[in-house]
Amino acid sequence: MTAVSKPAGEPEGTAEQAALTDGIHLVVDALKINEVENVYGVVGIPITDLARVAQASGIRYIGFRHESDAGHAAAAAGFLTKKPGICLTVSAPGFLNGLVALANATTNCFPMVQISGSSERHLVDLQRGDYEELDQLAAAKPFVKAAYRVHRAEDIGRGIARAIRTAASGRPGGVYLDIPAAVLGEVIDAEKGAASLWKVVDPAPAQLPSHEAVDRAIDLLASAERPLIVLGKGAAYAQADSQVREFVESTGIPYLPMSMAKGLLPDDHPQSAATARSLALKRADVVLLVGARLNWLLGHGEAPQWNPDAKFIQVDIAANEMDSNQPIAAPLVGDVGSVLEALAERTKPGQISVSAEWKDELADRTRKNVDRMAGKLAAAREAAPMQFLGALQAVRDVLAEHPNVKLVNEGANALDKARSTIGMQRPRHRLDVGTWGVMGIGMGYAIAAAVETGDPVVAVEGDSAFGFSGMEIETVCRYRLPIVTLVLNNSGVYRGDEASTTDDPAPTALGARHERMIEAFGGKGYRATTPDEVATALREALAAGEPALIDCVIDPADGTESGNIAHLNPKGISAKQ
Ligand code: ADP
């Protein structure tokens, strides 16, 4: 734990040398004390030595090509481990690049800390024009859960403890920690430095609702004719997998998983209402939301998507999430595990039941939708050129042989179609665009999933989405990570067949042989033009456990503009018909 460095100009081996430390070593020691195992970043002034010292200390440093990708990796690490993922950035532009990911982490309620070096305060604050001058603390504030700056080396331990506590406790989120270059270089007494560091005890304490709140919720559930549980990514994050499963199964209530909650219970679970989603929302009269917000992804809980008379019970760690969209008849403020245990404990035997009519209604709709989908899938399987659904069925079949694979998914059509085609069997095995529907998380999330879990990763990417973080393929190859990237390449944003009205390509046009990119970095590239070729390439790549990229050539005419969310486009006079 003791950090020792040689102050500038000091000869080796003096008595003073052993008694001194500096800001850089204190940051690393504070991270070590708090059991940080991995740091994601991009080096440069003033943090290059920080990365070196971290690596030498046994922390795994993963160096990226772009700070947004490093930040997305840290965010995904936070989601997967329930501990704040750490991202390290340089000042000004590097900081701003990372801030995108920190804001995205905050929006998704993932714990993350971005530590950034910054330029000289006395120059920045008088706007005298310093190298990479920016008031980073002020810039970060609107986008994050909290932003702190350390002004003295002796406060580094406090700053890191505060950042970790804030990121992980309550509703998790992104915390910005500003450490000016001068503080990183500040030399202080090693003993004083060591004494200034501490380990955060119980960073995210359990939070329990009162008995009254629990009983109110049970009474409401017991009164329901058509109850429904909605599981969100907060439930997946909570790592309360057995409590979730036991509560769902013991009550028999049908449930809907939000996309990153898929796998909390296997997607083929008999109580899953996923394939009768619109009916379930329209008809449910009492809805138990577990770690899921009634935001745009759930139509704000409004009619006509929802039953206008539905009553809501909400389990959430954030009290102010209640009533954000609809009246919450029974708020349950607490962590998912504690709340579900309390519900299970206080429910009397037989108090909650689900009618056969409700189960049958959902089962009928499920059957119809599954049949309709089967027809579409069969047609797509045979289509030439290959369609999204043809390629994705091949991916689905191969992944069924590898339930430990972590699936990363982004794009428009690539997202919508993969989500409905590829079933998940295990919790926290699907990472996707999340609350913002953001593009660019792909390679960062995939790298973190591989680094944090050691499991193989398959990233299913639209060709446009992949482009945002595509250069990180080099990072994947440099660290020899077991990541197979499938690019569903229909040569365009949404689709690739739009005619241009000028000599330039249409705004939605793209064109790339992505498999050649990975070959440049020493990875294995495949080009697949049929579902069978996709399956063969994916099987081979997963068996090899090495970096690979499969460019799946999709019909440019296959693809819907804006995927499932086309209704969010403005409807003005130029609206594309
Ligand atoms: P989804 O997009 O899957 O519907 P959201 O991101 O909208 O999920 O909702 C996640 C919710 O989970 C957030 O409101 C967050 O406050 C909450 N949450 C996060 N961690 C926990 C936890 N441990 N216990 C309870 N709620 C949590």
Separation of alpha carbons 230 and 220, rounded Å: 16
Task: Write down which residue in 333, 362, 391 finishes a domain.
Answer: 362
The pair phi, psi for residue 309, each rounded to 5°, is: -100, 5
Q: Is the CB of residue 275 less than 8 Å from the CB of residue 366?
A: yes
| 131 plus 59 within the same structural domain | yes
Ligand 1 atom with minimal separation from the 259 CA: 3
Number of domains into which the chain is organized: 3
Angle in degrees, 0-180, between the axes of helices 413-421 and 388-400, rounded to the nearest 10:
40
Q: What is the mean pLDDT of residues 196-203?
A: 98
Q: Domain with 157 in it: what CATH number?
A: 3.40.50.970
Q: 17 in a domain, yes or no?
A: no
Based on the fold, state whether residues 465 and 492 are members of the same structural domain.
yes
407, 292: one domain: no
Domain shared by 191 and 307, yes or no: no
Tell me whether residue 569 is in a domain: no
User: Do 176 and 225 belong together in one domain?
Assistant: no
- Quote the pLDDT of residue 575: 63
Question: Rounded CA gap, 102 and 177, in Å?
Answer: 11
CA dist., res. 62 & res. 39, Å (int): 6
- Look at residue 571 in the predicted model and tell me its pLDDT: 86
Q: Is the sign of the CA dihedral 150, 151, 157, 158 positive or negative?
A: negative
Q: Indicate if 339 and 482 belong to the same structural domain.
A: no
What does the pLDDT read at residue 576?
59
Quick check: is 205 in a domain? no
Shortest CA distance to 260 belongs to which of 108, 32, 482? 108
Instruction: Find the residues whose C-beta lies inside 6 A of ligand 1.
Output: 108-109, 171-172, 232-234, 237-238, 258, 260-261, 291-293, 295, 297, 315-318, 321, 335-336, 435
Please check whether residues 146 and 259 belong to one and the same domain.
Answer: no
CA-nearest residue, atom 21 of ligand 1: 234
User: From ligand 1's centre to the CA of 4, what distance in Å?
Assistant: 42
Neighbours of 101 (CB within 10 A): 32
In a domain, 570, yes or no: no
- Please report, rounded to a whole number, the percentage of residues in the chain having pLDDT higher than 90: 94
Select from 328, 362, 396 the last residue of a domain.
Answer: 362
Whether 573 maps to a domain, the answer reads: no
Spatial CB neighbours of 552, under 8 Å, sequence gap ≥ 6 = 386, 391, 486, 487, 488, 489, 528, 534
113 and 183 co-located in one domain: yes
Q: Which of 30, 29, 55 is nearest to 40 (CA)?
A: 55
Per-residue confidence (pLDDT) for residue 9, from 0 to 100: 45
The tens digit of pLDDT for each residue in 387-413 reads: 999 999 999 999 999 999 999 999 999
Domain boundary among 167, 195, 223: 195
**C-alpha 131 – ligand 1 centre gap (Å):** 40
Does a structural domain hold residue 285?
A: yes
Residue among 79, 320, 336 to mutate when testing ligand 1 (max atoms within 8 A of CB): 336
362 beta partners: none
CA distances from 166 to 81, 133, 203, 454 (A): 16, 27, 8, 27
User: Mean per-residue pLDDT for 226-239?
Assistant: 98
Pairing of strands 255-257, 524-528: unpaired
- Residue range(s) defining the domain that contains residue 411: 383-563
Do 179 and 226 belong to one domain?
Answer: no
Q: Is residue 571 part of a domain?
A: no
Answer yes or no: is pLDDT of 12 > 60.
no
Asked if 127 and 258 sit in the same domain, the reply is: no
CA of 59: how far to CAs of 33, 156, 165, 182, 549, in Å?
11, 18, 20, 23, 28
Write the CATH number for 248: 3.40.50.1220
**Longest alpha-carbon distance in the chain:** 83
Mutational pocket test of ligand 1: of 145, 231, 293, the residue with most ligand atoms within 8 Å of the beta carbon: 293
| CA gap 218, 202 in Å, rounded | 30
3-state helix, strand, coil in the chain (%, to 5): 45, 15, 40
Mean pLDDT on 185-210 = 98
Query: Average per-residue pLDDT in the chain?
Result: 95
Condensed to tens digits (0 to 9), the pLDDT of residues 512-526 reads 999 999 999 999 999
CA distance from start to end of the chain: 64
pLDDT in tens, 521-554: 999 999 999 999 999 999 999 999 999 999 999 9
Is pLDDT above 70 for 20?
yes
Q: What are the Cα distances from residue 542, in Å, to 213, 406, 427?
A: 48, 12, 20
At 563 the pLDDT is 86
How is residue 258 annotated by DSSP?
-
Helix (H) or strand (E) holding 113: strand 112-118
The token pair at 135 is: 């008031």
Per-residue pLDDT averaged across 256-275, rounded? 98
- DSSP 8-state secondary structure symbol assigned to residue 424: -
Given this model, what pLDDT does residue 2 score? 45
Residue 295 CA, closest ligand 1 atom number: 7
- Give the closest residue to 106 by CA, choosing from 130, 140, 80, 156: 140
pLDDT tens per residue, range 342-371 = 999 999 999 999 999 999 999 999 999 999
Tokens representing residue 496 in the block: 């690739």
Residue 454 inside a domain? The answer is: yes
Looking at the structure, do residues 224 and 296 belong to the same domain, yes or no?
yes
Given this model, what pLDDT does residue 8 score?
A: 46
State whether 187 and 217 are in the same domain.
no
